[in-house]
Structure 1
Amino acid sequence: MSRLTREEAAAGIRRGELLLVLIVATGIGILSMNMVLPSLPGMADEFGVGYNAVQYVLTVFLFALSFAQLVYGSLSDRFGRRPVMIAGFVVFIAGSLLCAVAWSLPVLLVGRFIQGAGGCAGMVLGRAILRDLYDRDRAASLLGYVTMSMVLAPMLGPAIGGGFEETLGWRAGIFSVAAVAAGVLVLVWLRLPETHYNRGVSTGFLNQFRSFTVLARSPVFLCYAGTMSCTTGTFFAFLGAAPFIVIEVMGRGPGEFGLWAMMIAFGYMIGNFVTGRYAERVGTRRMIFYGILVSLVGTAILLALARFGPAIPIVLFAPMMLVTFSNGLVMASAVTSSVSVRPDLAGAASGLGGFLQIGTGAIATIVVGLAHDGTAVPMALIILAFALGAAGCFALAVRYPDPVETPIH
């Protein structure tokens, strides 16, 4: 059995147990986000609305997810990680139950908003908890394992949701998510200790948002937040355009697209695994540096194949798997670097960084839709642009002193 660090002993939890709690708490929100996707046509029929209207089931969730991250980070800096995590799961369970009994689409949308607002608690606070207990490099290493749940959940969510849709119905699927979340809540209540003891003393909810002003004035935070946001943009730009290109342009079925899509999720998972194994040894800045190099190579290959290669899925998914592998190398280290700028504001930094990530991803899907011309070339160009943006942000970040390690020259 591994020896506990001083921080782990003070918190009263072992590393493996902590990782288990954070992995499950992080994955449940992502699982619920896309588990309903196979059920959208059935929901449209049940509620008597068009498919365009029922797509807001996903949009509302993402909207709540992005803005709730700002709230959770700040509140956890003020009141502590544990009580805010517990409150988030209570909100998530309430929203899930409302979704499961929804008698109309507006009620379902309200439930999804509540569900999304609660579901991001684990995503935001998991990052801050690791940074509370560990130095930056070790936190990045452990975060690599935690964020693998954010890959497995999107891979498993549609399959699980489709199984429920074909057997017991989508409501049973949402009830099952609520039941799992209740189990996670009990686990958090019993085993997750408080890890943040340098809490603020100010009162008033609006005071919590002053942290964002402090962070927004920090060039180092903005550079690392820009690095992870542009890295996220490469992924969402692909998701925004690839379904249409593969299904409509290449004439492949939705099921085949789903199988190909597992390649990019697998690439990201392997990248996170490598981060988990080597980030502490290599260092966060070098991990980001290597990841960006791989991303630039992958996006260049994607552009070349999109322009000159045959119209088959492998020419898109093979280089994109390389890009998502690089994302796995970059993300955990960029996240921990951003929350290390002001450790006393780690929760706010995690929330603001997550908000910028999701916002950038949303912008990427809009831009790639506007640029679409029936080929994969505009998508590849936009993905390359985001990769260059990440490289530029990181190049600016290493110009500033790093209290943890020597910058790359």
Structure 2
Amino acid sequence: MSVGRWTFVFFFCIQYPASCIFHPAMTRHSTISPFRVLLPISIGTGLSLIGDAALYAVLPTHVEDAGITVAAVGIILSANRFIRLVLNGPAGMAYDRFPRRPLFMASLLLGACSTAIYALGGGFWPLLIGRLLWGLSWAGIWVGGNAMIVDISDSRNRGRWVGLYNICFFLGTSSGSVLGGLLTDRLGYNAALGTGAGLTFAGAVLVWVLLPETSRLRRKRILTDPPGAASTHQMMQCRGHLGSAFLLMGVNRFSVAGTLMPTFGLFLLEYVGDSFQISGIRLGVASATGLGLGFTYLISMISAPAMGWISDRCRSRWQAVAWGVLPGAAGFVLLAMAHPATILAALLLTSFAAGSNQGLAIAIVGDLCAEGVRGRTMGLLFTVGDLASAVAPLLAYALAPVIGLRYIYVGVAALLASMLVLACYRARAPVPAMTTDPP
């Protein structure tokens, strides 16, 4: 049996039986309001991220409380990302084959358990097990949440709904870091992470109470044209647009999550110094890094739904992609100038692109993929993103001593400029969606 099949069986055996215990009767209404789905999965997703983000914020400075060495911090914090490379696909297959609601709720419960392990377990192995369980949990949460958003939307409004769902991702990540730091200072390491576990569990309860099942909304695969009318050329166009959306996700995650965020503190230290003054206030490099990265999440929270709405209005996702990629390329050029006056503008532009491109890539895939394979297609899309964000820091830190961060940022700007050219090309050749929207 292949690795993919084993991981699929593992995902199913862990999550599906447990979730069925908590599967109350579904609504009898023939239609489901998108907001009824968006609200509970957004709250559940946002709350689930608090424990993970808190661990990133406090573990490096509380290794004694965690019972590990400083050398083990990198392994612990990256373990969940690497396991998702093999779990995103099986998670998507599970969502295609079984009802979405119980799997999503079980993923949240598993996330609460993983965060509880951080709080209760000390030492390398308990933390590693918790991180691996979180990787499994997040694969189910993020793949399933986006699959449900695609279920309840169509090509006329999908950009807006996907963008609104992405707000919870950026909000949960940013608030988790702040809340984790504050609670750790007030209550201590274990109590802070225990609070994160409780919040994730509360999100699972809310999902159980409020979330309807959406898998029944999936329709059979239908081409926009009458059966048999789609030409081979049209099918190849669909595949080309789908592949370009995967490339967009990879380039976006490589650029911001993989390159900018892990290297921004080092960039400030190298080109600005260990402290600098803004409006009479002197900031250390650590504070400036935290404020700068927090600022990026705020901008991404705005750009994701805004550009999704624009893509719905202009009826061209790729035109909106071009408008989103352009500020990203410009932002990395400004960063490469390494001047304090350009850094804030650069962060604004790159974070705008990060939020815009992530949501639009998901919306494009939702428009193009067939109804019965949306889960596994989303899983593959996020695997591409996870791989790009895992590889980028390794490349950046390997090249930084050789060519310097400024030229690395120039290279990223060139990569985004290439994506801009591709987006403009795709915008000139729109392709019919693989599913038919309701009249």
1:331 is aligned to 358
Cα distance in structure 2, aligned partners of 1:277 and 1:395: 19
| TM-fit CA distance, 1:10 | 5.1
1:223 is aligned to 244
Q: Does 1:264 align with 2:264?
A: no
On the 8 A contact 1:224/1:394 being kept in 2, the answer is: no
Cα distance in structure 1, aligned partners of 2:262 and 2:61: 23
Q: Does 1:292 align with 2:318?
A: no
On the 8 A contact 1:296/1:387 being kept in 2, the answer is: yes
1:191 is aligned to 210
Residue among 265, 270, 291 paired with 1:243? 265
SS in 1 for 2:197: helix
Cα distance in structure 1, aligned partners of 2:94 and 2:351: 32
Residues 346-355 or 95-104, more deviating: 95-104
| TM-fit CA distance, 1:333 | 1.9
Residues 173-182 or 11-20, more deviating: 11-20
SS in 2 for 1:325: helix
2:383 is aligned to 355
Q: Does 1:56 align with 2:56?
A: no
Distance 1:18 1:11, change over 3 A: farther
On the 8 A contact 1:95/1:111 being kept in 2, the answer is: yes
On the 8 A contact 1:267/1:324 being kept in 2, the answer is: yes
What TM-score comes out, normalization by structure 2 length? 0.78
On the 8 A contact 1:127/1:336 being kept in 2, the answer is: no
Residues 276-285 or 317-326, more deviating: 276-285
SS in 1 for 2:347: helix
On the 8 A contact 2:246/2:361 being kept in 1, the answer is: yes
| TM-fit CA distance, 1:327 | 2.7
Distance 1:329 1:37, change over 3 A: closer
Distance 1:229 1:41, change over 3 A: closer
2:279 is aligned to none
| TM-fit CA distance, 1:33 | 2.3
| TM-fit CA distance, 1:403 | 1.0
Residue among 39, 45, 52 paired with 1:26? 45
| TM-fit CA distance, 1:350 | 1.0
| TM-fit CA distance, 1:377 | 0.9
Cα distance in structure 1, aligned partners of 2:44 and 2:426: 31
On the 8 A contact 2:114/2:130 being kept in 1, the answer is: yes
Cα distance in structure 2, aligned partners of 1:290 and 1:9: 42
Cα distance in structure 2, aligned partners of 1:400 and 1:32: 44
1:302 is aligned to 335
1:209 is aligned to none
Residue among 52, 55, 61 paired with 1:36? 55
Alignment deviations for residues 57-103 of structure 1 (CA, whole Å, 9 cap, x no partner):
21112223443322221110011211211221222222222222113
Q: Which amino acid aligns with 1:336?
A: A
Distance 1:375 1:170, change over 3 A: same
Cα distance in structure 1, aligned partners of 2:35 and 2:415: 35
Distance 1:220 1:137, change over 3 A: same
Cα distance in structure 2, aligned partners of 1:13 and 1:178: 30
On the 8 A contact 2:107/2:140 being kept in 1, the answer is: yes
| TM-fit CA distance, 1:404 | 4.8
Cα distance in structure 2, aligned partners of 1:43 and 1:328: 31
On the 8 A contact 2:65/2:189 being kept in 1, the answer is: no
On the 8 A contact 1:73/1:350 being kept in 2, the answer is: yes
Distance 1:194 1:389, change over 3 A: farther
2:110 is aligned to 91
1:211 is aligned to none
On the 8 A contact 2:319/2:427 being kept in 1, the answer is: no
SS in 2 for 1:193: coil
Cα distance in structure 2, aligned partners of 1:42 and 1:296: 34
Unaligned runs of 5+ in 2: 1-26, 221-235, 276-283, 435-439
Q: Which amino acid aligns with 2:392?
A: A
Q: Does 1:372 align with 2:400?
A: yes
Q: Which amino acid aligns with 1:185?
A: A
Cα distance in structure 1, aligned partners of 2:74 and 2:156: 40
Alignment deviations for residues 123-157 of structure 1 (CA, whole Å, 9 cap, x no partner):
21121112112112411111111111222222212
1:203 is aligned to none
Unaligned runs of 5+ in 1: 1-7, 201-214
| TM-fit CA distance, 1:326 | 2.3
Q: Does 1:139 align with 2:158?
A: yes
Identity %: 20
Within 5 Å, give how 1:67-146 maps onto structure 2: 67-146=86-165
Distance 1:370 1:194, change over 3 A: same
On the 8 A contact 1:240/1:369 being kept in 2, the answer is: no
Cα distance in structure 2, aligned partners of 1:298 and 1:335: 23
When the two chains are superposed, the root-mean-square deviation of aligned CA atoms in Å is: 2.8
2:24 is aligned to none
Distance 1:331 1:137, change over 3 A: farther
SS in 2 for 1:147: helix
Distance 1:29 1:399, change over 3 A: farther
What TM-score comes out, normalization by structure 1 length? 0.83
Q: Does 1:14 align with 2:36?
A: no
Cα distance in structure 2, aligned partners of 1:59 and 1:122: 18
Residue among 173, 177, 186 paired with 2:196? 177
How many aligned residue pairs are there? 378
| TM-fit CA distance, 1:159 | 1.3
Cα distance in structure 2, aligned partners of 1:391 and 1:9: 46
